[in-house]
Amino acid sequence: MKATSQSRVTRGALAASTGVGAETIRYYEQIGLLAAPERSSRGYRLYTPAHEQRLLFIRHARELGLSLDAVRELLTLANDRLRSCARVDRLVREHIHDIDHKIAGLQGLRRELSRIAELCKGGSKIGECRILAALADHTRDAPAKAIRCEDLGCADGSERHEA
Amino acid sequence: MKATSQSRVTRGALAASTGVGAETIRYYEQIGLLAAPERSSRGYRLYTPAHEQRLLFIRHARELGLSLDAVRELLTLANDRLRSCARVDRLVREHIHDIDHKIAGLQGLRRELSRIAELCKGGSKIGECRILAALADHTRDAPAKAIRCEDLGCADGSERHEA
DNA sequence: CGTAGAGGCTGTAGCGGCTACAGGGTCAAG
DNA sequence: CTTGACCCTGTAGCCGCTACAGCCTCTACG
């Protein structure tokens, strides 16, 4: 193979052209996600357009929330033109499923937090704060009975036992 | 203060009664979130009901997605019965806001991923896979032109340069 | 030609919030 | 007296970066 001696760029230039942090590029090399490029006589990394392509792919996949492992697999799959792309499809759909799961979880939290936030709008004193009470006594849907908040304070991390 | 010598429990028992992992309890002590308890003559930790209260509070707050730092602050605030609970309110509302932000982000990803997933339903070959094409050439809303997927493969991490 | 400043190199530590060991000691039941 | 479950300590690992420290090199300006 002939040496395509043109258009090699340094790490910083690659970082700028792809929008991936320069340190992140080194990290990807370290974990074997991006091939170690040729080096200049003085040890500088010299990246080819192929590296740029690959790095852009990684970035896009990451922006969609795919894990580095998933990205790695996608890149491996991409090598194999004749293979069925069922696995690609499955990876993406599983990821969508994960995201749905996360969204649902967050929406649950959100509901619960708004319920709690409604209990006390910051107007009263800590002693009667029903937000703290709800956190202390979190039997779900409990009527936030008057728990004594200072019961929580007696075991503060700042006052070590041995002291 | 008189020694309340009853109802001290070991770490495992506290873990069981609160649903917090035994190692996690040690971790909380390490970072100063839960006070170091008394020790038995043989060095076993002996927790009081106050520790249990506090740990339950922590668990509930964590289940709602609050950071350990936020939990720490809430616990500090709870010490101060006469203080206004405006800060408590604010912490919770900020957290709700963060969650809204996360949900919106995930919903964006979800939309984009479904769009991409629609491009290719796993029926074709990698060579024509439009999911991979979309990831490689992710000018948003691009018509997923036929990019050559093997362009990504030439820079695989598994084939080191020096080899 | 000298120098300053930007950028490259390496290795390593840190983030959050745990979790999982290894390698020991202790305790209660059978 | 033994077995097995628990406890103790310290440390390393997870993910995906990010940020140093302490060097070396390249480029532009004077």
Considering only residues 82 to 121 of chain A, which have any Cβ-Cβ distance to chain B shorter than 8 Å? 82-90, 92-93, 95-96, 99-100, 102-103, 106-107, 109-110, 112-114, 116-117, 120-121
Q: With beta carbons less than 8 A apart as the criterion, state whether B126 and A77 touch.
A: yes
CA distance A130 to chain B (A): 9
Residues of chain A with Cβ-Cβ distance to B78 below 8 Å are: 126, 129, 132, 136, 149-150, 152-153
CA dihedral sign of residues A118, A122, A124, A125: positive
Burial label, A123 (beta-carbon count in 10 A; 0-12, 13-18, 19+): exposed
Q: Is the Cβ atom of B11 within 7 Å of strand D at any atom?
A: yes
Statement: residue B1 has pLDDT above 70: no
Angle (CA) B137-B142-B145 rounded to 5° is 65
Q: Which residues of B touch A154 (CB under 8 A)?
A: 50
CA distance B100 to chain A (A): 8
User: Residue B59 above 70 pLDDT?
Assistant: yes
pLDDT value of residue A152: 53
**Does residue A10 surpass a pLDDT of 70?**
yes
Is residue A38's beta carbon less than 7 angstroms from any atom in nucleic acid strand C?
Answer: no
The string of pLDDT tens digits covering residues A24-55 is: 999 999 999 999 999 999 999 999 999 999 99
User: What contacts B97, CB < 8 A, 6 or more positions away?
Assistant: none
Q: Does residue A155 or residue B79 have the better pLDDT?
A: B79
Q: Is the dihedral of CA B146, B151, B153, B155 positive or negative?
A: negative
Do B65 and A33 make contact, defined as CB atoms within 8 angstroms?
Answer: no
Q: Which pLDDT score, from 0 to 100, does residue B82 have?
A: 87
DSSP H or E stretch at residue B46: strand B45-46
Q: Which DSSP helix (H) or strand (E) runs through A51?
A: helix A49-63
A71, A58 in Cβ contact below 8 A? yes
What's this model's pTM, rounded to 2 decimal places? 0.85
For residue A50, give how far its alpha carbon lies from the nearest alpha carbon of chain B (Å).
Answer: 6
* Sequence-ordered list of residues with C-beta below 8 angstroms from that of B110, at least 6 positions apart, any chain: A96, A99, A100, A103
Residue B25, chain A, CB below 8 Å: the answer is no
The pLDDT assigned to B155 comes to 46
Q: What's the pLDDT band for A137 if we cut at 50, 70, 90?
A: confident
What mean pLDDT value characterizes chain A?
A: 85
pLDDT in tens, B65-91: 999 999 999 999 998 888 888 999 999
Of the residues B46, B96, B128, B149, the best mutation for testing chain A's interface (the one with the most A CB atoms within 10 Å of its CB) is: B149
Give the pLDDT of residue A139.
Answer: 63
Angle at which helices B49-63 and B22-30 pack, to 10 degrees? Answer: 100
Mean pLDDT, range B46-61, rounded to an integer: 97
When pLDDT is averaged across residues A95-123 and rounded to a whole number, the result is 93
Higher per-residue pLDDT: B152 or B41: B41
Query: In the structure encoding, which two tokens stand for residue A60, read together?
Result: 């896009």
Q: CA B159 to CA A61: how far, in whole Å?
A: 22
